[in-house]
Amino acid sequence: MEKEEVSLHRVNQHTIDQCKENPNVIRKLRKDELRTIKKSLQLDVDYHAIDHIERIKSTGEDTLVAYMEGSAKDSIIKYKGYDRKSRTQYLTDAWLELNFKHLTSFWKQIKELKVGSTIKVPIGSSNNKEKWKDIEEKDKGPKIQFVQVNNQECLYYSLASGFYYMGHVGLAQLVISVYEMKNISNGETDIKNLVQILSNRKNQKFSAYKISFVIRRVKRPNVSKILNEFNPNIVFHCVLENQHSICIIGNWIFDPIFTNAIKKTEDKLRFCAEHSEHESTNKAFRVVYTYDFNVSKKY
């Protein structure tokens, strides 16, 4: 069995040894080291949101093995991840466990995946819940009516909380009922399905009056336009690059992992998307739909 090393080092061992022998000395990196660093940075930036996971063959001559530093046991690569542009990255068991073990149902599906089969990564929670204490009081806004508890609620709870804030209580309840029906049927979290249901019922009576609105898919979300749109009658329902879902209305971002909306700024958007310093804010959005209640503008 041939083994292909998946190295964690971005510079050669010789360079590392030289730096240890002569600390505080500026050393020029070799071209191959610079290429490795550039490639690694691109992976850090572009592969942080895996869209699909494929189970690959993990026996025979083509077996890939990751040599994990500090681990006594090699990790056989059994999975490959694809981003939304179909670029690939091999995934170790340790990485998969760290990112998906808390999603009990999805984790079971990953482990039971057959060779050659793929599975779509579900929309889920961000890891920001414990950072609520770091948000300043002046940046906290209206109460969020539906606070996320489980990992796949954010798609529905963000939009429902936004509608509730606008006073469209019946519409918010409809979104929640769609989520509850999905749970009963073990259906997949799907923003297109949610949009289709709301489109079919948008002119029915959800409260004491008829609600009229237009739903549009934003083909190329413009971050600057969205951040500078303060019309309180336009809702931006967004799936971010980290597969987390938020709702933006007027001055506020409704992130359902928090108890209150947070002020709409570029920094807060990057915070919700869990962007690193290397990532462009323009890559924050994966999918955006607008709900226009005054039917006035296109985006």
pLDDT at 299: 41
Architecture of domain 129-292: Alpha-Beta Complex (3.90)
Q: Please give the average per-residue pLDDT across 207-233, as a whole number.
A: 85
> What is the average pLDDT value for the chain, to the nearest integer?
80
Nearest to residue 237, comparing CAs of 202, 180, 287, 280?
Answer: 287
Q: What residues are paired with 253 via a beta bridge?
A: 248, 262
Of 291 and 241, which is predicted with more confidence?
291
Spans of all domains in the chain: 13-120, 129-292
Q: Cβ contacts of residue 84 below 8 Å, gap of 6+?
A: 49, 51, 286
Task: Say how many residues make up the chain.
Answer: 299
C-alpha to C-alpha distance for 93 and 81, rounded to whole angstroms: 12
Write the pLDDT tens digit of every residue in 50-77.
778 899 887 666 566 665 555 545 677 8
| Banded model confidence at residue 288, pLDDT cuts 50, 70, 90 | very high
Across 245-265, average pLDDT: 96
Chain-centre distance of CA 13, in angstroms? 35
CA distance 193 to 211: 20
Give the torsion sign (CA, 166, 171, 177, 182). Answer: negative
Strand order across the 245-249 sheet:
140-143, 260-263, 252-254, 245-249, 234-240, 285-292, 214-217
Percent share of the chain, pLDDT over 70: 75
pLDDT at 41 over 70: no
Residue-level pLDDT at 46: 44
156 falls in which pLDDT band (50, 70, 90)?
Answer: very high
Structure tokens, 107: 């984790």
**Mean pLDDT highest for which of 49-63, 113-127, 252-266?**
252-266
Phi-psi region of 285 (alpha: psi -120 to 50; beta: other; left: phi over 0): beta
CA distance linking residue 55 with residue 22, whole number of Å: 45
d(CA 157, CA 255): 9
Q: Is 114's pLDDT higher than 70? A: yes
Query: Roughly how many angstroms between the first and final C-alpha of the chain, as a whole number?
Result: 54
Rounded Cα–Cα distance for residues 221 and 246 (Å): 14
pLDDT of residue 200: 80
- pLDDT, position 10: 62
pLDDT at 204: 54
Pairing of strands 52-55, 65-66: unpaired
Question: Which of 155-164, 202-211, 258-267 has the least mean pLDDT?
Answer: 202-211
Distance of CA 125 to the CA centre of its chain: 8
- Which pLDDT value is given to residue 165? 97
Q: What is the pTM of this model?
A: 0.66
CA atoms of 27 and 112, how far apart (whole Å): 48
- Per residue in 195-215, pLDDT (tens digit) is 988 888 755 554 444 678 889
Q: How much is the pLDDT for 218?
A: 94
Q: Is the pLDDT of residue 45 over 70?
A: no
Q: List, for residues 71-103, the tens digit of each pLDDT value.
A: 545 677 888 888 766 778 888 887 788 777 767
3-19 pLDDT, tens digit per residue, is 434 444 567 778 888 88
Q: Is the CB of residue 198 less than 8 Å from the CB of residue 215?
A: yes
